[in-house]
Structure 1
Amino acid sequence: MSRKIEFGKGLTRRDVLRLGITSAAAALGSSFIQTSAWGETGVEGKTIGFSMSYSNLEWIKLQQAGVEETAKKYNLKTVVYDATDQPTKEIQNLEDLITRGVDAILISTYYADAIRPAIKEINNAGIPIIVLSSPLAPGADFACHLATDTLGTARQAGEFYVKKLGGKGNIVEIDGKPGSLINQQRGKGWHDVIDKVPGIKVVSHLVANYDRQQALKVMEDALQANSGIDAVFAHNDDMALGAIQAAREAGRLKSMMFTGFDGLTIDALQAIDRGELTATWEYSPFGVEAVEAAVRVLQKKPIQKVISFPSPLITKDNLADYYDAAAKKRRVLPSRLTFS
């Protein structure tokens, strides 16, 4: 059932956040406008909110596109909020989705700890949450969390490095956002493997916040500080591409191996095709799957609490499965979310 809250009738916005939707409904009585004429799937006309910490990365842009396009497929309304990398604004956005009376909230956050108060309010309001990628803080209630085995994939990346480098080499590591749990797991899993190999050393550990231009700058500094670099382990493709540009401009591109994560953008796939980016591990943005999970929840059908997807390795050997070189387009892969 769709709900719209009308204020100015005895309850403030903060009152609704405190009471939750059920209690507020009782207090407001006819202040809720209810509709119940649904179509074939039973969710047409309902509203889902989508909250993201920021939207300036290609991965997140693809996530947002997946949410909006799939919502249209199911005739769902969407309310999309971008916190522009401000945790306090993200809290405000989530609170606003509560006051709007949305039927479900999709959350893609890098600030799990900071937004705890808003998550508690959503839980009190009884609005189901679908979590995309990074987990919420412990204790939060959610209907479904879509993720990958990030730690396991990072360990695979470590094994890839040990094999490719023959157990010996100097590596530059470029972090994304230090506060991101996904970023932390990518680093931990990789280090779990390479730190056990005496011949492999991390000669520079840098931070570029998942940004290509920042990676270009810090890689320039690393190149000046280190005469011998054998590989660059970047926590996403954009940063790997920035490092590649820096190495190319320094005339040192051919002496290094570069890897990333995501495997979604044309730039990254073309870099693999050119032999500049050695490998990447696909990391689904989950936009399509998040809406499908929300539909399942709104239909009150069973769904797994946590659904983990694989992160396949993409190299030049299997690039054709992901990239159409003639059309210069990424191959569209179907949703990987299936229900019995």
Structure 2
Amino acid sequence: MRFARASKIALGAAVAAAVVAACSVPGDDAAGSNKTVTDGPVKIGFSQATQQSPFYVALTDAAEAEAQAQGNEFFHADANGDVTKQNNDVQDLITRGVNVLVINPVDPKGVTPSLAAAQAAGVKVITVDRPVDKGAASFVGRDNKAMGELVGKAAADALGPTGGKIIQIQGDAGGAVARDRREGFLAGVSAQPGITVVDGPYCDYTRSKAVTAMQDLLQANPDLKAVYAQNDDMALGALQVLTENHRADVKVFGVDGLMEAVRAIASGDQYIATALNDPNAEGRLAIQTAVKVARGESVPEFVDAGTNLVNKSNAQSLQGESTFAAGE
């Protein structure tokens, strides 16, 4: 297990989970109340679900940079997709005396022991990217249904009244993000009754798994008209297979605003659209919210990091050197 802090010194573990509701609440009434920091730096513990995704790597880096910029202490650990490890990490962070926890839960239900431990220790909790049912002062993230629906509407427009078959490459089985992006996309394409969406396998948001899956999907579905992947990394894997098989007729849609996808949208006619999901903005907002909570300030129970559709009309203007595109 590895901890990192703003000073780059190795330490030893990380965080647990958080909640969502609908109104503003005092920062000290949802996840402990005796660690309020009235002056001086805040000790922030950050438990990341995994570092196997470019999105989560960028989110962690942005969170650490924001903590450094504010002069606060930052400790983080990578749960590596293991909820048991995440619960152990959170307990270790609490032992280190953090004032507030920022958690991206591997499993929103599985981190309940961490939330209980934080509450008992008087340590405030927020979640980032993935919410929990209860136990956190705030959730910082995006409306993944809205993101999926934006892309679904773009797919409906691109295929038109004739419709056709769309293969959906999914994220993680049982994950709230995957569920919401699926439901949003289905709502978006519903305006075109000629469209049929076929669920493909779960590829855990990784390109290599999507490449393998797409090879089989293309062979089994030669009549497909489009591919929708629940993140751009998987969509780019699908695009790779389509290119290798000379299937320029199949349109591609993703989510997240990965810069590689934005460039593909700007320069070609096959990758049609994605939805912005800037991890840098989300990481900064998570730390800003955590600091407010640690100081006993009121914060919204949902802090929306925002999104927008990326298509041919704006992709050129969104290009840059960052890993993910930022909002206009």
Rounded Cα–Cα distance in structure 1 between residues aligned with 2:192 and 2:103: 38
Aligned partner letter, 2:217: A
State yes or no: 1:178 paired with 2:168. no
Q: Note the 1:231-310 alignment, pairs <5 A.
A: 231-252=226-247, 254-263=248-257, 265-275=258-268, 276-285=270-279, 286-310=282-306
Match of 2:136 in 1: 142
Rounded Cα–Cα distance in structure 2 between residues aligned with 1:262 and 1:213: 17
Find the partner of 1:194 among 183, 189, 196: 189
Q: CA deviation at 1:331?
A: 8.4
Q: 1:71 to 1:280 in 2, by over 3 A?
A: same
State yes or no: 1:68 paired with 2:61. no
Match of 1:32 in 2: none
1:43 and 1:298 in contact (8 A); partners too: no
Rounded Cα–Cα distance in structure 2 between residues aligned with 1:154 and 1:240: 14
Q: CA deviation at 1:154?
A: 1.9
Match of 2:146 in 1: 152
Q: CA RMSD in A?
A: 2.5
Aligned partner letter, 2:164: G
Q: 1:51 to 1:329 in 2, by over 3 A?
A: closer
Q: CA deviation at 1:194?
A: 3.3
CA offset digits 1:77-127 (Å, max 9, x no partner): 111110111111011111111111101111112311111111111122221
| Structure 1 unaligned residues grouped into runs of 5+ | 1-19, 26-35
2:205 and 2:234 in contact (8 A); partners too: yes
CA offset digits 1:111-164 (Å, max 9, x no partner): 11111111111122221112111111x2x2212211222222322322222221
Q: Note the 1:1-340 alignment, pairs <5 A.
A: 42-44=39-41, 46-136=42-132, 138=133, 140-167=134-161, 168-194=163-189, 197-252=192-247, 254-263=248-257, 265-275=258-268, 276-285=270-279, 286-324=282-320, 328-329=321-322, 333=326
TM-score computed with the length of structure 2 as normaliser = 0.82
1:323 and 1:331 in contact (8 A); partners too: no
SS at match of 1:261: coil
SS at match of 2:131: coil
How many residues are treated as equivalent by the alignment? 293
Higher relative contact order (CA 8 A, sep 6+): 2
Q: 1:230 to 1:332 in 2, by over 3 A?
A: closer
TM-score computed with the length of structure 1 as normaliser = 0.80
Percentage identity across paired residues of the two chains: 28
